[in-house]
A and B are shown apart, each in its own frame.
Chain A
Amino acid sequence: MLYYDQYHVPETLDEAFDLIHTNGGNYKVLAGATDLLPWAREGRGGDVNYESVIDISKINDLSKWQLQGNRINLGANVTISQLLNNPFLRKHIPVMAKSAVWFADDQIREQATLGGNLVNASPAADATPPMLAMNAELTLERKQKGKIIQRKLPLDEFLTGPGKTRLEAGELVTRVECDSMLGYGSAFEKVGHRRSLVLSTVCLAALVSLSDDGQEFEDVRLALGGVGPVPIRLKESEACLISQPIDSDLIDKSAVLAVKHVQSRTRQEYRREVVYNFVKRGILGACKDLNTTFADIDTDMKHRGNYG
């Protein structure tokens, strides 16, 4: 059970930082609270007592987004439900909506935030692989001697292990910036024990753009979650396709290259099979998303267990 004496709801970042300072070390920052409250229970965090809780979800600036060149700049308070439903975000970063469909359930998506999902640093976080694939960079801010100190970190450097990040004491993740994916096809794959409210056993984000004649991969981006301590980009699998013709053998090779990343504590054999098939299906799904169908490849790509 989580208990505390004070609940603060700052409306600006400045107020939030002031509260962080006045509360010394005994405070907890929350946004959606959907990870914190289930954690503060028997068998996990147990009974947890803080002097203060600082709820940053009402800081309006952090709920906004904007297009900056070909990058989208999202406030950390953007909810998973906004990623799913907002037409602008669906247009520019549709893979987030595709991942959001799988994220928890209707109720939790309304409360849970993008920033919270990234900071929580679950190896199975559904928002992380798409964000990695979109070259996400985080803005981290803290206040020192009355001055806001800002730094930026790519998402893959920010995450260091299960539940572990480079976030420092007194620091907040305020913004998440990523590529706009106009012109790309996308797919998100996930499997878990059930349909809703389930941790990913494996999840994968795939983004593909094709050459003008539609015969070659121009760009391929793949990111994988649920199979190791942190979600990762599949650089080797990507490299073997970029600027190459769309060919089932190459796609197969790309999928085989992904399999070795399975480092989970359990069910490795199963996950290897899933990863292999997810990479193939993800790439094909992203191609199809561009209204390009490859009938011959399609037949070739049927589910197979004999990876690698």
Chain B
Amino acid sequence: MASFDIQMTVNGRPVKQSVSPHLRLLDFLREELHWTGSKEGCGAGECGSCSVFVDGVLMKSCLMPVAKAQHSEIETIEGLEEQGKLNVLQQAFQKTGASQCGYCIPGMMMAATAALRANPYAGREEIKERLGGNICRCTGYQKMFEATELARDVMNGKLTIELLKEEKEEGPFIGSNSFRIDTSSKVTGALKYAGDMVMPQMLHMQVLRSPYPHAEILELDTSEAEAMAGVEAVVTHRDVQGIDGFGVFTDDQPVLARGKVRYVGDAIAAVAAEDVLTAKEALKKIKVRYRELVAITKTEDAIKTGAVIIHDDVPDNIVMHIPIRKGNVDKGMAEADFVIEETYYTQPVEHAYLEPEAGLAYLDADGTLVIQSPSQNITHHRQKLAKILDMPVNRVRMIMSPVGGGFGGKEDMHYQGILALAVLKSRRPVRYVFTREESIIASAKRHPFSIKYQLGLNREGLIQASKIHMLADAGAYNCSTEGVMRKAAILAAGPYAIENLMVDAIGVYTNNTPSGAMRSFGAMQSQFATECHLDLCAEKLEMDPVELRRKNFFKEGDETHTRQELGSVSMLEVFNSALDLADWETGISNSRGATRSDLAQSGNRPPCTLGARQFPLETIPTGQAA
């Protein structure tokens, strides 16, 4: 491949190098110069984590062929510090806690810098606009806006720099404002996430994934790929020395497909090569012969008699069924004045942590296998890996690299096992960095549910009986399905005192993308159904939806649905405070609609409207326009 001579200035220093012409500016900064502060979150210009200044103009370095930056002056996050000290904006980000997982922060800081350079007096709305090209999944953005405003006011002399210091508090931590210990490493871009790490002799791994939702693998021939120059290891299930299989609850997922694939994206084989391109080329040379099987894509089809079996040892396709029984539901329904029924559906949800999965694995001199990855479950993974690799557990070491957002999605051991096989086979360090697309294809999602809800109430609005049947799509592997079913069942009926209760939470295998842990672990889905259903009941009963809930809340001394006696209950207090803050307008929901006045009270957000410009054009500074 041809090379291209590139010359530029990076953070004030001249750089001259000969590189592959197809590199993007981001690749050049990260892989050639090892300035890894600029991050790749999406590679498609959507997330802004790669934002840098090119000749003073903020750009997305993942959208810029390196040749476009020829003879330019580049400023990255690493150039923001002043004489080795955090600048005002960095200190402000630290002060407001704007940096959480930290992965979006380099790009976010650059955008905030651009905002204040363009207009040192930028208001909140303009700051919001200027940060519009950057995505954060942790903070909800408020702290970043606050930080930018704080920095602006300190730089303008309106506020004193003392305000940026940590407020050292005596006494308890709760209620005091202390800094996260790792913040300064995040606002400088110094912190190394797994995808930022390099080692001498390091190989790059790519994974071959299934294009079919359900298929038998008749033939898997890697010989041509193995023969390629630059390829150091090709691994398949045949390289597993111990007992294959991992999972959070049951070990139903092989490290690499064993005989069949169960979803689009199931890992089949992997190549570790000198560079990513060679690894990609080698993947194309792996021959796989499939026999397509009937794929189950709907939960209701999975439990039909005679349905295709996805895992041989689970002939009914039911991963986990959690039932709860209390009182006599039939009697309760029969005695109710109203029985109201509805079915609710929730969709799969991608975590979309800004840091796509990545890992760096290597052998220590004493033969200990070390895997650095943003795993949310290292001790568990270590036990599983020792079993899979047939190695003593003290020869397997997991190091949790900084997690650039997890939200439950990094609990599964989807790729660490593959890395381990590649390292043991090649005896060299191996790094694997997912693309955003790969992360979406391969990682587990929030469980989609269908929830059949039946509620019996008397005329006063007291719940007499509740029957809840939940069917959840576990996808191809168990992952966290068992725990999610437990949580969904336990919390299904909501914080309401119900004498007669029947709950079933059933997770089933399908050939969809696996479902796993995600924020709230099943509670969100059942709460969605419960609260929607109570609103529906309030309408039918012509009651204030708030009143309906107040009447049914757990009280002190009540038993929960799983028979725990409640010593203290603050539900009503919390509820009333929330209503006050929301300026809740009492009344029957049926009579509201377009005339509701509680939405636009002072301090509340006005209702969303179509297309209105967020700020008048005239307030946009004209910059250095010609």
Query: A residues touching B (Cβ–Cβ < 8 Å)?
Result: 1-7, 9, 30, 32-34, 37-38, 41-43, 47, 53, 55, 57, 81-82, 84-88, 94, 97-98, 101, 104-108, 110-111, 189-191, 195-197, 274, 277-278, 281, 303
Question: Inside 8 A of A82's CB, which chain B residues have their CB?
Answer: 625-626
Asked if B2 contacts A5 (CB within 8 A), the reply is yes
Asked if B626 contacts A86 (CB within 8 A), the reply is yes
For the complex, what is the distance from the CA of A55 to the CA of B614, rounded to whole Å?
35
Chain A residue at minimum C-beta to C-beta distance from B107: A107
Is B435 part of the contact surface with A, judged by Cβ < 8 Å?
yes
Asked if A110 contacts B68 (CB within 8 A), the reply is no
Is B51 part of the contact surface with A, judged by Cβ < 8 Å?
yes
**Is chain A's binding surface mostly helix, strand, loop or mixed?**
mixed
Is B22 part of the contact surface with A, judged by Cβ < 8 Å?
yes
Is B623 part of the contact surface with A, judged by Cβ < 8 Å?
yes
Is B60 part of the contact surface with A, judged by Cβ < 8 Å?
yes
- A303: which of B64, B65, B610 is its contact (CB, 8 Å)? B610
Asked if B617 contacts A42 (CB within 8 A), the reply is no
Looking at the complex, which of B39-47, B147-155, B573-581 is the stretch in contact with chain A?
Answer: B39-47
Report the minimum CB–CB distance from B57 to chain A (whole Å): 5
Asked if A33 contacts B63 (CB within 8 A), the reply is yes
Report the minimum CB–CB distance from A15 to chain B (whole Å): 15
Is B120 part of the contact surface with A, judged by Cβ < 8 Å?
no
Asked if A55 contacts B611 (CB within 8 A), the reply is no
Asked if A37 contacts B133 (CB within 8 A), the reply is no
Asked if B63 contacts A86 (CB within 8 A), the reply is no
The number of A-B residue pairs with CB atoms under 8 Å apart is 133
The interface centre, meaning the residue of B51, B57, B626 with most chain A CB atoms within 10 A of its CB, is: B626
For the complex, what is the distance from the CA of A55 to the CA of B67, rounded to whole Å?
9
Question: Inside 8 A of B609's CB, which chain A residues have their CB?
Answer: 303
Is B339 part of the contact surface with A, judged by Cβ < 8 Å?
no
Question: Inside 8 A of A105's CB, which chain B residues have their CB?
Answer: 48, 132-134
- B67: which of A1, A9, A97 is its contact (CB, 8 Å)? A9
Chain B residue at minimum C-beta to C-beta distance from A30: B65
Is B158 part of the contact surface with A, judged by Cβ < 8 Å?
no
Is B70 part of the contact surface with A, judged by Cβ < 8 Å?
yes
Asked if B622 contacts A43 (CB within 8 A), the reply is no
Asked if B68 contacts A57 (CB within 8 A), the reply is yes
Question: Inside 8 A of B132's CB, which chain A residues have their CB?
Answer: 105-106, 195-197
Chain B residue at minimum C-beta to C-beta distance from A3: B22
Asked if B133 contacts A104 (CB within 8 A), the reply is yes
Asked if B46 contacts A197 (CB within 8 A), the reply is yes
For the complex, what is the distance from the CA of A9 to the CA of B69, rounded to whole Å?
11
Asked if B435 contacts A38 (CB within 8 A), the reply is no
Is B249 part of the contact surface with A, judged by Cβ < 8 Å?
no
Chain B residue at minimum C-beta to C-beta distance from A89: B625
As a 0/1 sequence over residues 482 to 514 of chain B, the CB contacts with chain A under 8 angstroms (1 = contact) are 000000000000000000000000000000000
Is B335 part of the contact surface with A, judged by Cβ < 8 Å?
no
For the complex, what is the distance from the CA of A47 to the CA of B438, rounded to whole Å?
14
Q: How large is the interface on B (under 10, 10 to 19, 20 to 34, 35 or more residues)?
A: 35 or more
Residue contacts A-B, CB under 8 angstroms, 7 given: A7-B4, A37-B65, A82-B626, A107-B51, A108-B45, A278-B610, A281-B611
Question: Inside 8 A of B63's CB, which chain A residues have their CB?
Answer: 32-34, 37-38, 107-108, 111
Report the minimum CB–CB distance from A305 to chain B (whole Å): 9
Is B13 part of the contact surface with A, judged by Cβ < 8 Å?
no
Chain A residue at minimum C-beta to C-beta distance from B133: A105
For the complex, what is the distance from the CA of A9 to the CA of B44, rounded to whole Å?
23
For the complex, what is the distance from the CA of A224 to the CA of B365, rounded to whole Å?
66
Question: Inside 8 A of A34's CB, which chain B residues have their CB?
Answer: 45, 60, 63
Report the minimum CB–CB distance from B624 to chain A (whole Å): 8
Question: Inside 8 A of B134's CB, which chain A residues have their CB?
Answer: 105
Report the minimum CB–CB distance from B399 to chain A (whole Å): 29
Task: Please provide the chain B residues from 100 to 146 with a CB less than 8 Å away from any CB of chain A in the complex.
Answer: 111, 114, 129-130, 132-134
For the complex, what is the distance from the CA of A58 to the CA of B611, rounded to whole Å?
35
Given contacts A6-B21, A33-B64, A41-B435, 16 further A-B contacts (CB under 8 A): A1-B280, A3-B277, A5-B22, A7-B65, A37-B44, A37-B62, A42-B441, A55-B68, A57-B68, A82-B625, A82-B626, A106-B130, A107-B59, A107-B63, A107-B133, A190-B611
Report the minimum CB–CB distance from B432 to chain A (whole Å): 16
Report the minimum CB–CB distance from B145 to chain A (whole Å): 14
As a 0/1 sequence over residues 1 to 43 of chain B, the CB contacts with chain A under 8 angstroms (1 = contact) are 1101000000000000000111010000000000000000001
Is B170 part of the contact surface with A, judged by Cβ < 8 Å?
no
- State the 6 A-B residue pairs at the shortest beta-carbon distance, nearest first: A105-B133, A196-B132, A38-B44, A3-B22, A85-B625, A42-B437
Asked if A9 contacts B610 (CB within 8 A), the reply is no
Is B563 part of the contact surface with A, judged by Cβ < 8 Å?
no
Is B238 part of the contact surface with A, judged by Cβ < 8 Å?
no
Report the minimum CB–CB distance from B133 to chain A (whole Å): 3
Question: Inside 8 A of B459's CB, which chain A residues have their CB?
Answer: none
Report the minimum CB–CB distance from B149 to chain A (whole Å): 18
Task: Please provide the chain B residues from 432 to 488 with a CB less than 8 Å away from any CB of chain A in the complex.
Answer: 435, 437-438, 441
Is B304 part of the contact surface with A, judged by Cβ < 8 Å?
no
Chain A residue at minimum C-beta to C-beta distance from B44: A38
For the complex, what is the distance from the CA of A111 to the CA of B625, rounded to whole Å?
15
Asked if B610 contacts A42 (CB within 8 A), the reply is no
Task: Please provide the chain B residues from 591 to 626 with a CB less than 8 Å away from any CB of chain A in the complex.
Answer: 609-611, 613-614, 617, 620, 622-623, 625-626
Question: Inside 8 A of A278's CB, which chain B residues have their CB?
Answer: 610-611
- A108: which of B1, B133, B438, B441 is its contact (CB, 8 Å)? B133
For the complex, what is the distance from the CA of A34 to the CA of B45, rounded to whole Å?
7
Question: Inside 8 A of A30's CB, which chain B residues have their CB?
Answer: 65
Asked if A101 contacts B617 (CB within 8 A), the reply is yes
Report the minimum CB–CB distance from B455 to chain A (whole Å): 31
Asked if B611 contacts A37 (CB within 8 A), the reply is no
Question: Inside 8 A of B622's CB, which chain A residues have their CB?
Answer: 85-87
Question: Inside 8 A of B1's CB, which chain A residues have their CB?
Answer: 5
